[in-house]
Every structure is written in structure tokens, then in C-alpha cells.
Amino acid sequence: MSREPALAITLDWSIGGPATLLKFKWRDADPSGAASIEWFDQWVEAEDPKVKQRILDYNEDDCRAMRVLLDRMREMEIRQYGD
């Protein structure tokens, strides 16, 4: 049985903290949901293909990070409260 530390509890809805603990890395240097909204506004304004690709990369990385978390949770031992 593995004695790895449990995933840290997060106080927000971000997957960034837990995914980072599991060694996941986003391609963007400063990824965040809030930033992706700003990038979308920039793309709507200018239709810059580089901005569009940044959004697509971020969204793809978010999906991959969620998969890393899901796979890790499926590996975790289920215990009753108080065990």
C-alpha cells in the first residue's frame, strides 16, 4: 500500500494546485481561468491566431490536468471516516 500524501484540499475551484502537486505542467507560463477569459476578449477584438492558439492550448492542458487528477483519485484507497 502506498503512503503518498493525500491531495491537498483547495479553497477554490482551481485544478491548478492539485494538478501541480501531481507534477502536471501547463504549456503557458501564467495559466489561469481568469487569464483565459482575458485572452478570449483579446481574440474577439483582434482575431489574432496566436491568441486563439494560446486559448486552445490552455483548454487542452486543463483537460489533461483534469485527467491526471481523475486517474490519481481512481488509484486512491477508499477508507471509512475515522479509519
In a domain, 49, yes or no: yes
pLDDT per residue over 24-77, tens digit each? 999 999 999 999 999 999 999 999 999 999 999 999 999 999 999 999 989 887
10, 16, 21, 18: which is closest to 33 by C-alpha?
16
In a domain, 52, yes or no: yes
In a domain, 65, yes or no: yes
In a domain, 2, yes or no: no
**Domain limits for position 44:** 30-75
Quote the distance between the C-alpha of residue 63 and its chain's center: 7
What is the number of structural domains in the chain? 1
Helical H segments across 1-83, by residue range: 16-21, 33-46, 49-75
Which secondary-structure segment (H or E) carries 1? none
pTM of the model: 0.76
